[in-house]
Structure 1
Amino acid sequence: MQTPLGIVLFAHGSRDERWRAPVEAVARQVAVLDPTARIACAYLELVAPDLRTAVQALIVAGARRIRIVPLFLGMGRHVREDLPRLVDELQALHPGVAFSLRPAVGEDPEVIALLAKKALES
Structure 2
Amino acid sequence: MSRGLVLFAHGARDPRWAEPFEAVAANVRAAAPGVQVRLAFLEFMQPDLASAGDELAAAGCTDIAVVPLFLGAGGHVRRDVPGLLEALAARHPDTRFRLHPAVGASPEVVAAMAAAAVRALGT
The percentage of counterpart residues that share the same residue type is 48
Equivalent residue in structure 1 for 2:57, among 56, 59, 64: 59
* Aligned 8 A contact 2:2 2:35 in 1: yes
> Could you tell me how far apart the structure 2 residues matched to 1:54 and 1:82 are?
16
How far apart are 1:60 and its partner, in Å? 2.1
Measured against aligned partners, the alpha-carbon deviations of 1:73-98 in whole angstroms (never above 9, x if no partner) come to: 00110011101111111111111101
Number of residue-to-residue matches in the alignment: 120
Runs of 4+ in structure 1 displaced over 2 angstroms? none
Which residue number in structure 2 is paired with residue 15 of structure 1? 13
Structure 2 letter corresponding to 1:63: C
User: 1:109, CA displacement in angstroms?
Assistant: 1.1
Query: Structure 2 stretches of 5 or more lacking a match?
Result: none
Provide the TM-score with structure 2 as the length reference: 0.94
Structure 1 unaligned regions, length at least 5: none
Please report the RMSD computed on the Cα atoms of aligned residues, expressed in angstroms.
0.8
